[in-house]
Amino acid sequence: AGFSTNKVAEAAGVSIGSLYQYFPDKLALVEAVRRRHFDHVLLVIREAAADEKPLKQFARELVRGMIGAHSIHPTLHQVLLDEVPGDRGSRAAHASFQARYLEHYAAAVAQYRKRRKDTETMARVLSSAVEGVIHNAARRNMLDAPELQKQLVELICAYVSGQGVRV
């Protein structure tokens, strides 16, 4: 495992004692980092969907913002995703985040798909697609790949506009 409070203190440029003054244990530190990340992700979605901009601009801003949110300390983000278990409190915080996350995606989908009735399912599919591509790109150190960004913008536009292949 690559996560230790000693490494966090070193990266932050503080003593381990100072770290424990603010975070009583490793789990408290992890939760603070997770909450900060969740808040950043929600802000990205809100800002991308603000101002009734064209769909392509929304998609570009969403992709850039999500890449930005996942480019901040990518190794730490990977550790949080893959290695650090959560407790009951972190599961509750994640459930709350997921609810707000899907609400923001549903609002964005509704803004661009006025004829579509099932915006909740579309929000779930779209958020999962974006999240999956971003998380896998982060794991593979490909967040800065321009073609990946372009393809993800195209995917969002095709799906949300209804211009993709229908089955």
Encode pLDDT of 9-42 as tens digits: 887 788 989 888 988 887 888 788 888 888 999 9
Query: In what helix (H) or strand (E) does residue 114 lie, and over which residues does it extend?
Result: none
Single-letter code of the amino acid located at 32: A
Q: Supply the CATH classification number for the domain 33-161.
A: 1.10.357.10
The region that residue 13 occupies, defined by phi over 0 for left and psi between -120 and 50 for alpha, beta otherwise, is left
State pLDDT tens for residues 36-75.
Answer: 888 999 999 999 999 989 999 999 999 999 999 999 877 7
Please state, in angstroms and rounded to a whole number, the distance separating the CA atoms of residues 149 and 138. 12
Measured CA angle at 144 (ends 141, 149), to 5 deg: 115
Single-letter code of the amino acid located at 143: L
Label residue 130 by pLDDT band (50, 70, 90): very high
Counting Cβ atoms within 10 Å, is residue 12 exposed (0-12), middle (13-18) or buried (19+)?
exposed
